[in-house]
Each structure stands twice: as structure tokens, then as C-alpha cells.
Amino acid sequence: MALVDTTAAAIEKNASDTFRRVNAGDAPYRDPKNPALYAFVYDINLTVVAHADNILMVGVNYRGKTDVAGKPFRDEILAGALKNGTGWVDYVYLNPVQTNLYYKSAYYRLTRGSDGNSYIVGSGNYKRCG
């Protein structure tokens, strides 16, 4: 939650610089001690504008796309952000550190950037097995 709040505050102050730093994987947007903890940002059309783990996702629209279990978790993030401003969603995702599929729980928050546009900032933790 702290990473999402920090990233949202930075976007509110200077969106373009924050997106550049997130996409570069700079700290604090990607935790140097725990690289599986990183920030990601969608616009309200569900296009990735910044991703601290995978720059190749930037510019890709994920509306209607699901995780491997068939859950449209990004659509749920959008709906929850527009309705409540913040929330949590669980889904299955690839862990960048242990390169396997894991259950993940992500916190998200709607924010308004310094450029006047609305963004959804998120970050999540991979759940331990067993």
C-alpha cells in the first residue's frame, strides 16, 4: 500500500517524470531488496503507461484480457477504482524473481496526474504457498 501511495503522490506532482522513473525500474518504484515488489500504472482505458518490472507492457491495452485462470482482473481493478477509489484484487501472475505462476494480491488506487489525467496505480504481493 505504501508503494502505491508513494507512486500516486509522485504522479500527482510530476506525472511524466514519475512514469519515466517507474519504467526505468528506479527505486522506490521497484524495490531493490525485493524485485518482485514493483509499481504499475494504467490509464482509465486500461492501457499500461508505466511498469517497473516489464517495459514491454507499456502501451498495451489490457481491457478484457484475463489471467491464466480466466479472471479479467484488470477490468476488476478499473471498476473498483472508478467506484471506490481504492481496493484489492487477487489473481494468478508470473513472478519475475521465481519465474513461475503464483497467486498475487494487488492493491490499487485511482489518482489524478499533474497532467490532469486519471491513472490507476497498483502494486501487489505474491502469496506464499503452503
Full-model pTM: 0.92
Helix crossing, 15-23 with 2-13: angle to 10°?
A: 130
Write down the pLDDT at residue 129: 60
Write down the pLDDT at residue 126: 82
**What is the mean pLDDT for each group of 10 consecutive residues in the chain (130 residues)?**
97 98 97 92 98 96 94 97 98 78 93 98 81
Write down the pLDDT at residue 105: 94
| One-character DSSP codes across 70-122 | S--HHHHHHHHHHHHSEEEEEEEEE-TTT-SEEEEEEEEEEEE-TTS-EEEEE
Write down the pLDDT at residue 15: 98
Write down the pLDDT at residue 113: 98
